[in-house]
Amino acid sequence: MAEKIYKGGEFLVAEVTCDEVFTPEEFTDEQKQIAETTEQFVENEILPHLDAIEAQNFDLVVEGMRKCGDLGLLMIDTPEEYGGLELDKATSMLVGEKIAPAGSFSVAYAAHTGLGTLPLVYYGTEPQKQQYLPKLVSGEWVAAYCLTEPDSGSDAMNARATATLSEDGQHYLLNGTKQFITNGGFAKLFIIFAKIDKEHFSAFLVEKDFAGLVVGAEEKKMGIKGSSTTQIILDNCKVPVENLLGDIGKGHKIAFNVLNVGRFKLAACVTGAAKAALLVGVKYANERKQFGQPISQFGAIQEKVADLTADLFASESLVYRLAGLLDTKLATIDKGIDNYYVEYQKGIEEYAAECAISKVFCSDVLARVVDEVVQIHGGYGFVSEYPAERFYRDERINRIFEGTNEINRLLIPGIILRKSMKGELPLQAEAMKAFESLMTPSFEELDDTLAFAAEKALLQNLKTLFLILAGTAVQKHMTALANEQEILLAAADIAIQIFAIESAVLRAEKACRSASEKKKQWLEAAVKVFAFNATEIAGTAAKKGAFYVEEGDPLLMILSGVRRFAKYDATGLLQAKRLLAHAVCEEEKYLF
């Protein structure tokens, strides 16, 4: 694990080396064994029953959760004193990735182990933890998280659910409706957010059997049909005062800090789902013959396979780089201190921007994968007998879960700019340097003896471009920039691609040291293909942002910078794509 501790957002101004990132090639034997256990569980216990689960036989889901408990798969993030294993975030992400091919079941699993359990781990009192955590980690009880309401989705603080102290002071009476609650139909414990006296946003631990809690009907959904999604209706629901979770009026801390965890775990899950979907597409392409040969031999299909493989390499690299950042930071916190979980949450919150980046980027990759897998199947991709159709429907929710991708994209520059204003990141000084470089012609030549020299030069240029755009936007709009969402979204898209390209490049550089010649060629090809595609996205976002923030001569100057800094020499791109595609289709597996 990397020893240097980078600040959240620092990747935009620092030159990171490959020795300072964690990569999947560094998984321990224990982590690999847990991953294999998870894969076997999915293959043996879930996939044979997937049709019944999709038909909403929730008894199978509950039974599967108990089996997860028996295998230790619900214990990853819970302290040992409550029956957990308290393993690192890399392991937690790895299990999430490996359980993702379980389809709707993985949604129930993720909701339980993440949003349903972690609020109790982080904010629960000792009696609350003793009472509930052993039941959750064993799978005896399933948990659900109740934040969204019919009229408050992204605007969670506008919740209308209320909590009023009873006359005898022994209970809170909760009233309101919670919407789109995953695991709602069979959960035994609900984390419910409501405003005490219509003012103080707070969280409560509510058991299913508490008087006044009513589970609504199952929603008729487009996808993830095998997951339970209901309303939770609160009609003077009696909750003991000792079941207040955390402090009165501090429910927003629970809601938003736990969502950071939800975002990076979702990134791992969608990466696993994308891997599984791509292999289904590749196997079909090898089997399906047209014009006398498998369609996998046609360039039109090969280009899809190559692009998606490169996307997945970047997605995986990004996820585990973030895992390394989190684990390195969290390892510095003394578990013996009284406020351990306060500091722990601060450690995770440090990388809130990277958590949002991972959620957006990886869910977008899954969207591209499932779309192309349907296309590879042709008409059969539109037929429910083939898994491609379910992949397509199931994917869509991931760009809405854990905060919409739009909300997360807005968070990225917002968090980074706030860090700069607090003096935590030297964005202003670096922006000045970026403007200077815009004015100064560059005659630097690449040192071809250095590994991935072109990609590293590209990264420096894209970082310069981000700083120019962000600096111009701040100068023009100052504090009103928060209202200029189109500009913020453009800046976010550049930052996302920078983090993804850098994650892929540094992983490949590190892996090439010990890779076989064949594997080294695959790594270099994946980086070239991804860097080309990502640069096109970043360059388009930068051009759009330039038109948003300036006009006249200043606009022309920034546009000249876009042309100069969003430029990547992808010589050999076609050969790289063909190499990747041939390897994936021949091996019928994810190469990395």
Active site residues: 402
Tokens 């791509």 correspond to: 278
Joined tokens for residue 568: 């990547």
517-549 and 552-565 helices, crossing angle to 10°: 180
Side chain identity at residue 200, one-letter code: H
Long-range CB contacts for residues 286-293, cutoff 8 Å, separation at least 24: 286/585, 286/588, 288/377, 288/378
Read off the amino acid at residue 53.
I
Residue 203's DSSP bridge partners are: 193, 245
DSSP 555: H
Say which residues have a Cβ less than 8 Å from residue 120's Cβ, sequence separation at least 6: 128, 129, 132, 133, 136, 143, 191, 205, 245
How far is Cα of residue 222 from the mean position of the Cα atoms in its chain?
A: 21
Dihedrals phi, psi of 217, to nearest 5 degrees: -70, 155
Nearest to 489 by CA among 362, 398, 317, 360: 360
What tokens does 6 get?
Answer: 């980078």
Kindly write down the DSSP assignment for every residue of 450-495, as one continuous string. Answer: STTHHHHHHHHHHHHHHHHHHHHHHHHHGGGGGG-HHHHHHHHHHH
Strand partners for 144: 190
Concatenated DSSP letters of 137-183: HHTSS-EEEE--BTTBSS-GGG---EEEE-TTSSEEEEEEEEEEEET
Return the H-helix or E-strand segment holding 235: strand 229-240
Q: Could you give the CA distance from residue 514 to residue 290 in angstroms, rounded to a whole number? A: 40
Contacts of 157 (CB under 8 A, 6+ apart): 201, 252
> Which H/E stretch holds residue 244?
strand 244-245
Contacts of 244 (CB under 8 A, 6+ apart): 172, 202, 203, 204
Q: Is 79 helix (H, G, I), strand (E, B) or coil?
A: coil
The CA distance from 466 to 231, in Å, is 42
